A and B are shown apart, each in its own frame.
Chain A
Amino acid sequence: MHKNVVIAGYVRSPFHFASKGDLVKVRPDEMAAQVVRGLLGKTGIDPKDIEDLIVGCAFPEGEQGLNVARLIGFLADLPISVAGTTVNRFCGSSMQSIHMAAGNIQMNAGEAFICAGIESMSRVPMAGFNPLLHPGLAERFPQAYISMGETAENVAQKHQIPRARQEEFAVASHQKAAAAQAAGKLKDEIVAIQANGASVELDGCIRPDTSAAALADLKPAFSTDGSVTAGTASPLTDGASAVLVTSEDYAKAHGLKPLARLRSIAVAGCDPEIMGIGPVAASRKALERAGIAAGDLDIIELNEAFASQALACADELGLDLAKVNLDGGAIALGHPLGATGARITGKAAQLLQREGKQLALSTQCIGGGQGIATVLEAA
């Protein structure tokens, strides 16, 4: 039993700074519903054929709680027959939703899935409203709960990523994103969000004027003698994303236009205190399963939780930085935790098509010490 799985559409909301951007007052369920509606409109799929709405979310409580996927289905006017489930693998949540859809399709348990992701970091704080740690685990294995900033410092130290290199990487991310925005290259993927009488149409986190000199002036954000600053970390962000995942047969039969075909997927654990290195193990597995080498990749979407960990992963995997994050990464665009996995996988698929390339990788690190990876090929 083997069925090919394709990405048949990708959209996202504009991404904005949490607590001060244009999406602060937008409920995440409402934002995700608008994105899902945008995906339906863009792909033209008959909603009745959708098996399940799988929504990734890192902190599924408050307005993101109560199995928000089902509620998003109602808000988006999906047929009642379309099921809904919420998935949590922290930052890897919505890439996980794609993997689940792929598994289901191969199990012959559905032909079409909407795999979405949301996070309003304005409205649900990181760690949630009621962080209650296991006191015994906190004592015995404190790295289970380590802060993300601290892991970024650990990775910078262990892999010797100096501050200047992190800053150079961050500046490049902003420049690529700004150039893509200016050239209208991001327009295609963005669904405008109607918020309180206004239409939010553009990304809000990109800083085209950022320079290495400006970043060099920032104070370390997490440790007084550290190298990671607010300028080399992804910002707290509000946003939502969605991709349409179908069997290749279904796409062909219904006139959908696949962006890319899934070639392999993988997850892997690593030490929590260096969670940023997670993509290395996950990507190696996925590449091996795809039967290709890192050097074969044409397009890479490597999530920029922090410049230090992205660079450490690129170094370890031997990635060509010229092929990484062509339209900018999370440092410039933002990182709405649960929404990032679907964004970078959808983006990798879109770039394969746009650039006319063959092989792509999307991968990201995950708090608690994990990595997740997807290998795509031209459809």
Chain B
Amino acid sequence: MTIVTAAVIGAGVMGAGIAAHLANAGVSVLLLDVVPKEGDNRNALAEGAVAKMLKADPAPFMSKRAAKLITPGNIEDDLDKLADADWIVEAVLEDPKIKRALYERLEGVRKDGSIISSNTSTLPLSLLTKDMPDRFCGDFLITHFFNPPRYMPLLELVTGPNTKPAVLETLSAFADRRLGKGIVLCHDTPGFVANRIGTFWLQCAVVETLDRGLTVEEADAVMGRPIGVPKTGVFALLDLVGLDLMPKVDASLAATLTKDDAYQSLRRPFPLLEEMIAEGYTGRKGKGGFYRLNKSNGARVKEAVDLKTGDYAPAGKPSLASVSASRRGGPKALVAHDDKGGLFAWAVLSQTLGYAAALVPEIADDVPSVDRAMRLGYNWKFGPFELIDKLGAADFADRLKAEGKAVPPLLEKAAAADGFYRVKDGRQQVLTVAGDYADVERGEGVLLLSDVKLGSEPLAKSGSASLWDIGDGVVCLEVHTKLNTMDPDVFKIIAKALDIVGKNYKALVIYNEGSHFSAGANLGLAMFAANVGAWPMIEDMVAQGQKAYTALKRSPFPVVAAPSGLALGGGCEILLASDAVQAHAESYVGLVEAGVGVVPAWGGCKELLSRLARDPRRPKGPMPAVAAAFETIGMAKVAKSAFEARELGFLRREDDITFNRERLLADAKKKALSLVEGYQPPEPVELTLPGPSGKASLAFALRDLYAKGLATEHDMVVASELADVLTGGDDADMTEPLPEETVLKMEREAFMRLVRTPGTLARVEHTLETGKPLRN
């Protein structure tokens, strides 16, 4: 069975977000809620939810068009329409009576073979299915999404004893491939996996912070980056999810966990928290939380709560020796330090990781499921067992013993052997519950470069990039600089790739497993050269980049780029130079050079122009493509999804989109292999450009933007150079198409003129220092 149409019941934050993500995947969704007591519009709740999501940032939708796949309705008038749904997701109030009453109504209308699931985060499946008919129990499971459903990759699935295997199979395949979710199969235990451990960790960290007299800034400085957790740490995370959620989650877990569960002993009153919630300090959605941005007196001052007095004061920047030590020595150095940060870290990690170790196989079948849940659901860089390995399983167990604390049996086994994970014969293995090691399983269609790297040596390597044999005649070019920026060492490896693939392989895939595909050119290098006046060095870097990218384009084998995360500037231009793109749906693509005061000069202007000109939906004539490119590059537009990248022209319609990050490399490889047979490199293009007439009209548009205050002084300088490149310069005329080489030359020349201006240098410097654009 395939899922073509779906329905979501409950248009709250989660229900609406799930509906939006289903729409992102191209599924038609019926979104229903109750009929509001007031007003004439019976669909007001669902319609309001869609309207709100269209304005939300970060956007639940990957494109405005996706919103049209949602049909809002209400549960009274539209119940019959549920007969069409292949999958019905229930996301109503966390009240078993309400849910069960709804299920009974659904049973009357839903078609045979449809799947029905609950997005509950607190109610056990056994309670929801108790005494329900067999048909329902067979087609029912829990699908627990994390907020926001588009961006959080974790999907916890819980099945009951009567759930049909085909139901689980259909749903997990769909959620994995189409929704891009990382599936974790959980047992029907309180909080399932991620929230069981996550809530314990948060509660434990709060308690230890209070007991040890740390400030919230200190606690977050320790419980964040040093252990591979997002920098929100503990308190800023609570601000993000809402302070009022904490007592609710706590009460629910406490009520369902056994009395002897370790979590129960962590519970204690937190009067300040109750006070804050009562006064509306519920976090970022309220008046503030443990932190707030004080905007009074015209300034924006970040303040933090004093946990003793409850008063806000400007947030401090804690300086802890343990945190400094962790920069080199990682979590191990952190917990080894005996300052208050190190002791706090050990107290929280020993309890939390120990708790996790005691819960396998109670909450999930195996260790990787738990690690995966925490990585994908809480954005931890390492799961609990991976963290224990970082600390050393034996050391961890020894320290617990020395402190007279219990060592869970699974941890004993890991301590006595090679830890929870090991590499054997080039393959990653994991400790099983039985105590032996087994290969870590990857699903079909999943290929990870990290696995390839465990089992092989690179074909070539520089400080900035490497080439890997990923099998079947395909080579992967991996950039591995900071933010994966492009530099001359990357170009050297591109040259190697041309040689190696040309001789012995079939195709090249450009891919890496960093958070971001590439943030662009290495600005630091350019700034350094500019500071010493080494203009020829900059010019050489521009020329080398053009040469490398052009060579990729002309290579006698297919090149497929597979971005995920940011692909900006030079990182976007390498996509444009590829024969095809296999993009992760969460790709953020843009030619943002204007933000740092230059124009794209590694072929970006040329490529975007020629792509926009080829788009048959655009009006004819020399200006539409030029005007669109001028707007996209001039405003440094960044597509906020692969779908938006397609709308802006960075992706072609024949380029493909992969939702599941773990499937990206395999999909890109498949795409590359599909292009091998009969491959012909593209011919150089000619561009019909309007010349000075077109430039004059762009200049007028620009003048109006300046008058409206939408362009700055230096924007005018940069945009004027951009207009020159995009219109083909003074000698261009629409009756004489220009060879692409001419446009490439103009890109280089405009770049070099701009990079020497004080305005551009100020922008580069500002961006390097702050990571933000300068509006000068």
Q: Is the CB of A222 within 8 A of B696?
A: no
Contact of B700 among A130, A145, A220, A222 (CB under 8 A): A145
In the assembled complex, which residues on chain A have CB atoms less than 8 Å from the CB atom of B692? 135
The stretch among B277-285, B509-517, B616-624 that forms the contact with chain A is: B616-624
Say yes or no: is A224 at the interface (Cβ < 8 Å to chain B): yes
Other-chain residue from B693, B703, B704 in contact with A132 (beta carbon distance below 8 A): B693
Complex contact B708–A132 (CB within 8 A)? no
A222 B704 Cβ-Cβ under 8 A: yes
Whether B707 contacts A132 by the Cβ 8 Å rule is no
Q: Are B704 and A150 in contact (CB under 8 A)?
A: yes
Q: Do B624 and A129 have beta carbons less than 8 Å apart? A: yes
- Tell me whether A138 is interfacial, beta carbon within 8 Å: yes
- Chain B residues near A130 (CB-CB < 8 A): 619, 621-624, 690
Q: Is A81 an interface residue (CB 8 A)?
A: no
Confirm or deny: A131 has a beta carbon within 8 angstroms of a beta carbon on chain B: yes
Q: Are A132 and B694 in contact (CB under 8 A)?
A: yes
Interface size of B by CB at 8 A reads: 21
B621 touches A129 (CB 8 A): yes
- Is there an interface contact between A221 and B623, defined as CB atoms closer than 8 Å? no
With A and B bound together, what is the CA distance between A333 and B709 in angstroms?
29
The answer to whether B695 has its CB under 8 Å from any CB of chain A is yes
Q: Does chain B have a CB within 8 A of A160?
A: no
Known: A129-B623, A130-B624, A147-B700. A135 touches B708 (CB 8 A): no
> Which A residues are CB-close (under 8 A) to B703?
147
Chain B hits for A150, CB < 8 A: 704, 707
Cβ < 8 Å to B, chain A residues 131-154: 131-135, 138-139, 142, 145, 147, 149-150
A138 CA / B697 CA spacing, docked (Å): 9
Inter-chain CA distance A134–B690, complex, in Å, is 11
Would B623 and A132 count as touching, CB distance under 8 A? yes
Docked-complex contact B697 and A131, CB < 8 angstroms:
yes
Contacts of B447 in A (CB 8 A): none
Is B716 among interface residues, defined by CB-CB distance under 8 A?
Answer: no
B697, closest chain A residue (CB): A131
Asked if B709 and A147 sit within 8 Å, CB to CB, the answer is no
Partner of B708, one of A127, A134, A139, A223: A223
Interchain CB contact under 8 A, B623 and A135: no
Is A62 at the interface (CB under 8 A from chain B)? yes
The answer to whether the Cβ of B752 comes within 8 Å of any Cβ in the partner chain is no
Q: Does B347 contact A (CB under 8 A)?
A: no
Q: How far is the CA of A150 from the CA of B704 in the complex (A)?
A: 8
List of B residues within 8 angstroms of A145 by Cβ: 696-697, 700
Name the one of B619, B690, B708 contacting A62, with C-beta atoms under 8 angstroms.
B619
Given known A134-B696, A147-B700, contact A222–B623 (CB-CB < 8 A):
no
- The answer to whether A149 and B623 touch across the interface, beta carbons within 8 angstroms, is no
CA distance A17 to B621 in the complex (A): 27
Task: Name the A residues within 8 Å of B693 (CB-CB).
Answer: 132-135
Given contacts A129-B623, A130-B624, contact A135 B696 (CB under 8 A): yes
Q: Min CB distance, A127 to chain B, in Å?
A: 8
* A-contacting residues, B690-720, CB 8 Å: 690, 692-697, 699-700, 703-704, 707-709
Judge whether A138 and B700 touch: CB under 8 Å. Answer: yes
- Cα distance A40–B580 in the bound complex, in angstroms: 57
Evaluate whether A224 and B696 lie within 8 angstroms (CB atoms) in the complex, with A129-B624, A130-B621, A132-B622 already known. Answer: no
Contact with B along A203-226 (1 / 0, CB 8 A): 000000000000000001111101
- Tell me which residues across on chain A come within 8 A of B707, comparing CB atoms: 150, 222-224, 226
Q: Are A133 and B700 in contact (CB under 8 A)?
A: yes
A133 touches B697 (CB 8 A): yes
Is the CB–CB distance between B709 and A224 below 8 Å?
yes
- Considering only CB atoms, which chain B residue lies closest to A142 in the complex? B700
Chain B residues positioned under 8 Å from A135 (CB to CB): 692-693, 695-696
Cα of A224 to Cα of B700 in the assembled complex, Å: 17
- Cα-based distance from A226 to B709 in the complex (angstroms): 11
Whether B709 lies near A132 (C-beta < 8 A) is no
Q: How far is the CB of A185 from chain B (nearest CB, A)?
A: 30
> Do A149 and B700 touch (CB < 8 A)?
no
Once the chains bind, are B708 and A222 in contact (CB under 8 Å)?
Answer: yes
| Of the residues B620, B621, B624, B704, contact of A149 by C-beta under 8 Å | B704
Alpha-carbon distance A133/B700, docked complex (angstroms): 9
Assuming the contacts A129-B624, A130-B622, A132-B622, asked whether A138 and B696 have C-beta atoms less than 8 A apart, the reply is: yes
Q: What is the CA–CA distance of A129 and B620 in the complex, to the nearest angstrom?
A: 8
Residues on A with beta carbons closer than 8 Å to the beta carbon of B619: 62, 129-130
Q: Which residue of A lies closest to B734 (CB)?
A: A132
- For A129, give the chain B residue with the smallest CB separation: B619
B188 to chain A, nearest CB (A): 50
Knowing A129-B621, A132-B622, A147-B700 are in contact, say whether A224-B708 is a contact too (CB < 8 A). yes
Closest to B691 in A: A135
Q: Bound state CA distance, A129 and B622, in angstroms?
A: 9
Minimum CB distance partner of B709 in chain A: A224
Instruction: Give chain B residues whose Cβ lies under 8 Å from the Cβ of A127.
Output: 697
Closest chain B residue, CB of each to CB of A220: B708
Residues of A with C-beta under 8 A to B708 = 220-224
A223 to B692, CA, bound (A): 26
* B696, A133: Cβ atoms closer than 8 Å: yes
Q: How far is the CB of A141 from chain B (nearest CB, A)?
A: 12
B624 touches A132 (CB 8 A): no
Interface core residue of B699, B703, B707, B734 (most chain A CB under 10 Å) = B707
Per-residue interface assignment for chain B, residues 617 to 633, with 1 indicating a CB less than 8 Å from any chain A CB and 0 otherwise = 00111111000000000
**Least CB distance, A100 to chain B, in whole angstroms:** 29
Q: How far is the CA of A220 from the CA of B710 in the complex (A)?
A: 12
Alpha-carbon distance A150/B705, docked complex (angstroms):
11
- The 0/1 profile, CB within 8 Å of B marked 1, for residues 245-264 of chain A is 00000000000000000000
Can you name the residue of chain A whose Cβ is closest to the Cβ of B623?
A: A130
Which parts of B649-695 form the interface with A (CB within 8 Å)? Answer: 690, 692-695
By a CB distance below 8 angstroms, the chain B residues around A220 are 708
**Contact (Cβ within 8 A) A147 B704:** yes
What residues of chain A lie closer than 8 Å to B695, measured between beta carbons? 135
In the complex where A132-B690, A150-B707 touch, is A138 in contact with B699 (Cβ < 8 A)?
Answer: yes
Q: How far is the CB of B634 from chain A (nearest CB, A)?
A: 16
Return chain A residues, CB-CB under 8 Å to B697.
127, 131-133, 145
Can you name the residue of chain A whose Cβ is closest to the Cβ of B707?
A: A223
Residue interface mask A93-130, B partner, CB < 8 A = 1 = 00000000000000000000000000000000001011
Taking CB atoms, residues of chain B closer than 8 Å to A139 are: 696
Q: A222 to B706: give the CA distance in the assembly, Å.
A: 9
Chain A's nearest CB lies how many Å from the CB of B724?
12
Q: How far is the CA of A133 from the CA of B723 in the complex (A)?
A: 14
Residues of B within 8 A of A133 (CB): 693, 696-697, 700
Which residues of chain B are within 8 angstroms of A224 by Cβ–Cβ distance? 707-709
What's the Cα separation between A127 and B704 when bound, in Å? 14
- Cβ distance A147 to chain B, nearest Cβ, rounded Å: 5
Report B65-97 CB contacts with A as 1/0, cut-off 8 Å.
000000000000000000000000000000000
User: Once the chains are docked, how many angstroms separate the CA of A62 from the CA of B620?
Assistant: 9
A214 to B622, CA, bound (A): 42
A265 CB → nearest B CB, Å? 32
Complex alpha-carbon distance, A131 and B703, angstroms? 15
A221 to B707 CA separation, bound complex (whole angstroms): 9
Q: Which residues of B contact A131 (CB under 8 A)?
A: 623, 697
Closest chain-A Cβ to B623's Cβ sits at a distance in Å of 4
The CA of A138 and the CA of B700, in the complex, are separated in Å by 9
In the complex, A296 Cα to B213 Cα: how many Å?
Answer: 88
Further 15 A-B residue pairs, CB within 8 A, beyond A145-B696, A223-B708: A129-B624, A130-B690, A132-B694, A132-B696, A132-B697, A132-B734, A134-B696, A135-B692, A145-B700, A147-B703, A149-B704, A222-B704, A222-B707, A222-B708, A224-B708
26 A-B pairs within 8 Å (CB atoms) are namely A129-B623, A130-B622, A130-B624, A131-B623, A132-B696, A132-B697, A133-B693, A133-B696, A133-B700, A135-B692, A135-B693, A135-B695, A135-B696, A138-B696, A138-B700, A145-B696, A147-B700, A147-B703, A150-B704, A150-B707, A222-B704, A222-B707, A222-B708, A223-B707, A223-B709, A224-B708
* Chain B residues packing against A (C-beta within 8 Å): 619-624, 690, 692-697, 699-700, 703-704, 707-709, 734
